[in-house]
Amino acid sequence: MNDPLRILLIDDNPDDRTLVIRELRREFPDPQVEQITNAESFTRVLETGDFDLVITDYQLRWTDGLQVLRAVKSRYPDRPTIMFTATGSEEIAVEAMKAGLDDYVLKSPKHFIRLPAAMRAALEKARQRQATKEAETRYRNLFERVPVGLYRTTPDGQILDANPAMVEMLGYPDRESLLATNTDDLYVNPKERQRWQVQMEREGLVRDFETQLRRRDGTIIWVMDSARAVQDAEGRVLYYEGSLEDITERKRAEAELRETNIQLQAALQARDEMIQNVSHELRTPLTLIMGYVGLLKEGAFGPLIPEQARIIDVLENQSDQLYFMVNRLLLLQTLDTGTIRKTELDLKLLLQKAVGAWQTRAEEAGIQLSLDISPDLPSLMADPDLLSQVIYNLLDNAIKFSPSKGVVGIRAWIEGNELIIAVSDQGIGIPPDRLERVFESFYQVDGSSTRRFGGMGIGLPLCRRIIEIHGGRIWAESEGEGKGSTFYITLPLRDAMLES
């Protein structure tokens, strides 16, 4: 509910006051009119300020309307004041308007009815002035407090205004010293200023313009500048207003990242060259060793006694392991490119072949291999050599870490939108805090026995990389040490083609 209008009516003539009050009550709901007839009552109400609008005559016994106007405006410059008089003149009206009078209405039957309209207009102007002042206050508070540099400049670079964040960003002691500086003097590269100016003149705005500015102490910072041209009704540019953000740290981080990437690429190239050289240096003697081991096993140099045959078997096994390790290194290097050769793959056949390949070794270790494949298993778009490498590696580890008379199982099934493969064993298990780290290259998981839980190798990291390139995941689960492990692989069915 709106409060009633509070009016000061300053007039010596009681008949005129009665007419004014009657006219006001016709136009305004329950106006509160305080009638002022002497200096004492005027001084009292002026102290309290308890009024919304002033209506004053010009000719008063104890003063005149100009003095009343000046007294009101000196304390309450936004309080609307109307002079309603029959004794004034054009000169007085002009002087009063210059002093802040809101309207001048003559006391006559013809003009009497104009008083309420003049009051409404004066109150509306006062409301608009108040709204403008509040908006300017909010803008100024935002301008002063926002942590981004804000500014206004003329088209020729004179700084008209700058907020505290801008002053601090550029290292000036106060706003006045910054305003005495031309923006041309701030640019490290004058051509950047010219480029900014051309874009502003062509488009009327600049967005995310990155450049270097020189602070007052000479240090250089990177900033991101966004600005627009403010024009008058005829399209003439009045000024530019914009914001500056200090991006020095971001630029420094980007430079460091670029340098790190360069160093990383150099390190990767050096690693690749090292792998190629080491592989070449190892393969040549390995091929010779494996050739002679084959000849010895075939009896090319005479029959072998049992002890010699056992040693030859050890040499052959270790040579095979070393050759396998060299191939893994080369494969890991190849996978870093992230490119693979996908073809339609019968996963069921791949798993059956893997079990067949490891059957003899499992039997020699007293371990049973179990295969459980879902009948609706789809064909899969995958790289057969890489996926075989994963299955072979998981079976190798499962057999290696399983006790005699244990069971190593392979299962494959569909669950939701994923194809799942699980390789489980009844071996030594993996402590919970080491489940994830077994996929790290050359991670020493146990101080006393680096291979106890499968650490210090590249097999599992290689498996993870292969599965990730296929868009899948691989992880391990174990109830703890001595309770076996299960390695799970998921592959997305978007790469699977269900058989009809």
CATH of the domain at 89: 3.40.50.2300
Q: Is residue 295 located within the same domain as residue 435?
A: no
Domain shared by 168 and 138, yes or no? no
What pairs with residue 210 in β-bridges?
224
Domain range for 312 is 255-335
Report pLDDT for 339: 61
Structure tokens at 109: 């039957």
Task: Confirm if 240 and 230 have CB atoms less than 8 A apart.
Answer: yes
Given a cut of 50, the residues of the chain with pLDDT beneath it are 1, 443-456, 495-500
Helix (H) or strand (E) holding 254: helix 248-297
CATH code of the domain covering residue 304: 1.10.287
In angstroms, the CA 141 to CA 129 distance is 18
b/e for 171-201, b at 16 or more Cβ within 10 A? ebeeeeebbebebeebbeeeebbeebbeebe
| CA 395 – CA 263 distance, rounded (Å) | 38
User: For residue 103, what pLDDT is reported?
Assistant: 93
Instruction: Write b or e for each residue in 253-288: b if 16 or more Cβ atoms lie within 10 A of its Cβ, otherwise e.
Output: eeeeeeeeeeeeeeeeeeeeeebeeebeeebeebee
Query: Last residue of some domain: 275, 310, 335?
Result: 335
Nearest CA to 154 out of 243, 241, 235 is that of 241
Query: Hey, what are 199's tokens?
Result: 């874009």
Q: What is the pLDDT of residue 486?
A: 94
- Inter-axis angle of helices 39-48 and 65-75, nearest 10: 20
Q: Specify if 396 maps to a domain.
A: yes
- The last residue of one of the domains, among 246, 265, 283, is 246
DSSP secondary structure letter of residue 247: -
Please answer whether residues 73 and 99 qualify as being in contact, where contact means their C-beta atoms are separated by less than 8 angstroms. Answer: yes
- Chain centroid, CA 141 distance in Å: 27
Residue with tokens 């106060």: 174
- Identify whether residues 359 and 481 lie together within a single domain: yes
Four-point Cα dihedral 151, 155, 158, 160, nearest 10: -40
Residues 384 and 403 reside in one and the same domain: yes
In eight-state DSSP terms, residue 108 is S
> Of 335, 352, 383, which marks where a domain is finished?
335
Please give the Cα distance from 403 to 446 (Å, whole number).
19
- Residue 403 covered by a domain: yes
- Cα 107 to Cα 280: distance, rounded to the nearest angstrom: 114
Q: Does residue 402 contact residue 427 with C-beta atoms inside 8 Å?
A: yes
- Cα dist. 236→194, 201, 230, 231, 241 in Å? 20, 11, 8, 5, 15
Tell me: do 260 and 240 sit in the same domain. Answer: no
Q: Cα separation of 378 and 345, whole Å?
A: 9
Exposure string for 64-85, b = 16+ CB within 10 A, e = fewer: bbbebbebbbeeeeebbbbbbb
Distance, in Å, from the CA atom of 463 to the CA atom of 469, rounded to the nearest integer, reads: 10
For residues 87 and 207, membership in a common domain is answered with no
The answer to whether residue 237 is domain-embedded is yes
Task: Note whether 44 and 128 are same-domain residues.
Answer: yes
Say how far apart CA 500 and CA 484 lie, in whole Å. 38
What residues form DSSP beta bridges with 230?
239
Listed residue (405, 402, 375) closest to 487, CA to CA: 402
What tokens appear for 424 in the block? Answer: 């489980």
Q: Are residues 272 and 364 located together in one domain of the fold?
A: no
Domain count, the chain: 4
Inside any domain, residue 1: no
pLDDT of the residue at 201: 92
Give the domain CATH number at 440.
Answer: 3.30.565.10
The three-state secondary structure class of 178 is helix
Question: Do 86 and 98 lie in a common domain?
Answer: yes
Residue 238 dihedral angles phi and psi, to the nearest 5°: -85, -45
Question: For position 498, what pLDDT does the model report?
Answer: 40
Are residue 136 and residue 25 in the same domain, yes or no?
Answer: yes
pLDDT for the residue numbered 218: 94
Instruction: Please report the pLDDT score of residue 240 as a whole number.
Output: 96
Residue 382 belongs to some domain of the structure: yes
Tell me if 82 sits within 8 A of 112, measured CB to CB: no
User: Token match 């569909």: residue?
Assistant: 414
Instruction: Give the bridge partners for 105, in sequence order.
Output: 84
SS3 151: strand
491 and 352 in a common domain: yes
Question: Is there a domain that residue 324 lies in?
Answer: yes
* Residue 422 placed within a domain: yes
Same domain, 369 and 491: yes
Token pair 């008209």 is found at: 160
Q: pTM for the complete prediction?
A: 0.46
Beta bridge partners of 245: 224
